[in-house]
Amino acid sequence: MKEINLTKDQIGMIVVGALFSGLFVYVYLFYFWLPYSKQLQADTAKVEKLEREIENAKRQKAKFKDLEGKLDSLKLEKEAAQKKLPRDKQLPELIKTLTDKSRKYGVTINSIGSAAAVREQYFTKVSYAVSVSGDYHRLARFFTALALEERIITTENLSVTSSPNSPKGSLNGTFTLISYLYNG
């Protein structure tokens, strides 16, 4: 193999070229590549964080839609519950219900007595003394219709009697009508 003989000028040029190349690599690395690399890593981390926040926001939005639907259904349930268990006596509505059911099933309401109220923990029981007359089957349908009413109404202490001078099959009944009120 042939030896390469370099002059001092050539060696100096190679050393100066190597020094400039090293200086260029050093300047490129420390002034351009490393700061750009750090900024790129910071921006990547920031983008990943924003993407996680966006996903979280999307999940929250989906839950929010569910919450709106849940709120609407709870409002409907509240309205239905208030129909079943009102906050006040609503006596005219109760009397209207009684008269409508009595007309529908052929029962005569003879009297409705005054109310007594007993307060419980969550509700108040309001009692009315009611006297009715009609035949056995009509009275049974009447009581069944009252039990199936949307508003919670119960009957207690039912007493049915037959009077000797009434038409055959006619009965007189007295009972305590209980309506419930919400205390909340």
pLDDT tens column, 93-142: 888 889 999 999 999 999 988 878 888 888 888 899 999 998 888 999 99
Please, which pLDDT band fits residue 31 given cuts at 50, 70 and 90? confident
CB 130 within 8 A of CB 175: yes
Task: Give the mean model confidence (pLDDT) for residues 21-27.
Answer: 88
CB 115 within 8 A of CB 95: no
Please, which pLDDT band fits residue 184 given cuts at 50, 70 and 90? low
Q: What is the pLDDT of residue 70?
A: 82
Rounded distance between C-alpha atoms, residue 145 and residue 139, angstroms? 10
Q: What is the pLDDT of residue 63?
A: 74
Nearest Cα to 140, choosing from 100, 91, 173, 179?
173
pLDDT higher than 70, residue 9: yes
- For residue 160, how many C-alpha atoms fall within 13 Å in the half-sphere facing its CB? 13
- For residue 86, how many C-alpha atoms fall within 13 Å in the half-sphere facing its CB? 12
**Residue 165 to residues 48, 120, 133, Cα–Cα distance (Å):** 93, 43, 13
Nearest Cα to 146, choosing from 175, 114, 170?
175
Task: Give the mean model confidence (pLDDT) for residues 2-31.
Answer: 85
pLDDT higher than 90, residue 36: no
Per-residue tokens: 115: 């109310």
Per-residue model confidence as pLDDT tens digits over 57-107 = 888 877 777 777 788 888 888 777 666 666 666 778 888 889 999 999 999
Q: What is the pLDDT of residue 67?
A: 75
Q: What is the pLDDT of residue 87?
A: 66
CB 92 within 8 A of CB 179: no
Q: What is the pLDDT of residue 39?
A: 85
Q: What is the pLDDT of residue 84?
A: 65
